[in-house]
Chains A and B, each alone.
Chain A
Amino acid sequence: MSDAALPTAHAPTASLWQRTHGWITNPWGRPRFLVLITWGYMVWAIVPVIIAIQFSFNETRSRTIWSGFSLRWYTWDPSDSVMNDPSLRQALAQSFKLAGADVLVAVPIGVALALGLARWRGRGSGTSNFIMLFPLVTPEIVMGVSLLLVFTHIFTFVHTGTLAQILGHVTFSISYVVVIVRGRLFSIGRQYEEAAADLGASPGVALYRVLLPLLTPAIVASAAIVFALSIDDFVISFWLSNGGGTVTVPMQIYAATRAAPLPSTNAIATIMVAVTLLTVLAGFLVYRVFTRGERVAGGGMVGDMAAFDI
């Protein structure tokens, strides 16, 4: 642009400050400062992780200076890649073992507890409900300390190690299953079961043929969420570990980050992020398939995620 055009166009207008201020507050539309903060937050929240993922593919040992794409830290580095470092392979196996066992135990117990708590009216139901909610608000370190002490002083037959870790993971997972399944139970209501009973179904049939299929999406969603929670858990695994074979991936990342991390740390963290996201995505898609045709208040996904607004 030529300089000659400027003075005539802008001579009597507002100062730079006023113009910037006006542009940002934007009195005639959506305030632009909100747009800036929101997108700034999104960039701040996501980009560091993307950079960390990028450096898991770095060719050299640096996690900060990019030298080219390679799968060295995943597959072919002879001693330090995820595939060839026994401690990393072991940590992956342990994390999957804990998450799998957690899902298998916590989901059935949690679904039954959700049904029970949603419909049981009588002595003890209030207290039970209270006990169920407590793990959700207890700081993890308090849970870690108490489980460690119970396994070293009362249930001494459970030594710290894999079994203790599984018991700990199930303990913090049950409440999440209950919250998700109970939300679904409330939205289903009782009319379908009552209709089944009116048509002659026995309680067992009403439960198994009517209620269970209606609950399936919530059960699938809670299984995916429990799996992801378990995979990402650091504190409980850490407090109940006895070293060696019971180190999980988050513990490995923790130890490596405090020492001198290699890009292989980024690589194993990237693998876990991919696994978690795929699990949650799969759970969500199954949920959507099962609930298609239902009218969801609050716009589908948001309504589902509000399960976390417990």
Chain B
Amino acid sequence: MYPRWLWPGFAFPGVLWLIILFVVPFYAVIGVAFGTVDPILLSAVPIWNPLEWNVGWVNETLQRLSPGGDLWVVFVRTCEYVFVSLGLSLAIGYPVAYYIARHASRTKNLLLILLILPFWISYLMRMLAWVNLLAPDGFVNRFLQFAHIIDQPYGFLDGQSSTVILALVYGYIPYLILPLYASLDRIDKSQIEAARDLGASPFRAFLHVTLPLSKTGILGGCVLIALPMFGDYYTPNLVSGAPTTSMLGNQIDLYFHSTSQPTIGAALTILLSLFLVVLMGYYLITVARATRNLESV
């Protein structure tokens, strides 16, 4: 009933916008990373023609990121922080999502509202809240002193890895719990009942029915929070600020905003994106499949 050009025509402005301000900018990063540095002004001179690319800076950055290089430590630390945070988030998030999806009845709506609330509280506000609590004269230190667990205020904010991990978990866990909840909520209860009727213990029913059926939610949620965590730099800056807890994002931030070496910063951005492309690809394919299923219904 509609003319054939109508739908591509509707899509056109948005696609054009994303090409100009999402695809082209990414090419700008590539151009700068494979460019040269002005010897006098020390500013980046991008090279747009792929045939003339200067691989020197990207190579150097890659070497520094390899074992033995100075950025290797940062890379390993970033992976450690992200994986520990993922593990902790799952350990806390899965039982919460499971309880709300399977057991909460009267309190379900209240719990869902509380679950969604952190989405709409500014991330910076939530970090500020913890900085207040963990300050030398904050509630946490005063409580620990009151309970005689410590004598002197503990420097939670003086570059502790554990504080950064806590902040990462606190910051990103809502984005994990919601997909987990959605996948657990979708599970047909009769499948679990069938397992129980056939003699499985509650634990075995969970292990062999619920857990496999929530696998997409677990993987999707983990990817969804791992991606921003890998690119995070403000969380470590807010709750630690020490170089001993800096992540890859902090290095990129430093190259652009402190040492003015955008070429290395761009090279690092490219390498980070390449590293994350597997995760992004997994997520995009899952979403594309889900969308196709929706359309076919």
Which of B57-65, B144-152, B189-197, B230-238 participates in binding chain A?
B230-238
Count residues of chain A with CB under 8 A from any CB of chain B: 102
**Which residue of chain A is the closest to B2 with respect to CB atoms?**
A203
Complex contacts, B22 vs chain A, CB 8 Å: 131, 134-135, 143, 146, 171
A8 interface hit (Cβ, 8 Å): no
Instruction: Pick from B11, B125, B237, B297: contact of A52, CB below 8 A.
Output: B125
Report the Cα distance A110→B17, complex, angstroms.
10
Tell me how far the C-beta of A131 lies from the nearest C-beta in chain B, rounded to whole angstroms.
5
Contacts known (A131-B22, A141-B233, A153-B28); A49 close to B129, Cβ less than 8 A = yes
Report the Cα distance A272→B128, complex, angstroms.
13
Instruction: Pick from A38, A129, A171, A309: contact of B17, CB below 8 A.
Output: A171
Tell me how far the C-beta of A224 lies from the nearest C-beta in chain B, rounded to whole angstroms.
10
Q: A-B contact count, CB below 8 Å?
A: 290
Contacts known (A113-B15, A133-B287); A194 close to B119, Cβ less than 8 A = no
B273 touches A232 (CB 8 A): no
Which A118-133 residues sit within 8 Å CB-CB of chain B?
118-120, 122, 124-125, 128-133
A139 touches B227 (CB 8 A): yes
Which A243-283 residues sit within 8 Å CB-CB of chain B?
249-250, 253-254, 257-258, 261, 265-266, 269-270, 272-273, 276-277, 280
Contacts known (A51-B132, A141-B253); A42 close to B18, Cβ less than 8 A = no
Which B247-297 residues sit within 8 Å CB-CB of chain A?
249, 252-253, 256, 262, 265-266, 269, 272-273, 276, 279-280, 283-284, 287-288, 291, 294-295, 297
A167 interface hit (Cβ, 8 Å): yes
What DSSP secondary structure best describes chain B's contact surface? helix
Contacts A52-B125, A139-B232, A228-B120 aside, 19 further interface pairs with beta carbons under 8 A come to: A31-B103, A42-B114, A45-B118, A45-B173, A113-B14, A124-B8, A129-B291, A133-B288, A137-B280, A141-B232, A146-B26, A149-B262, A174-B18, A207-B2, A254-B238, A261-B131, A265-B128, A269-B122, A273-B125
Selected A-B contacts with CB under 8 Å, 30 pairs: A30-B99, A34-B103, A35-B103, A37-B99, A38-B100, A48-B126, A48-B130, A64-B132, A64-B135, A118-B295, A131-B23, A132-B18, A133-B288, A137-B227, A141-B253, A145-B252, A145-B256, A146-B26, A147-B21, A149-B46, A153-B44, A154-B25, A171-B21, A228-B120, A231-B122, A234-B123, A273-B122, A305-B178, A309-B178, A309-B220
Query: Which B residues are closer than 8 A to A by beta carbons?
Result: 1-3, 6-15, 17-19, 21-26, 28-29, 31-32, 44, 46, 92-93, 95-96, 98-100, 103-104, 109, 111-133, 135, 137-139, 142, 170, 173-174, 178-179, 182, 185, 220, 223, 227-228, 230-234, 237-238, 241, 249, 252-253, 256, 262, 265-266, 269, 272-273, 276, 279-280, 283-284, 287-288, 291, 294-295, 297
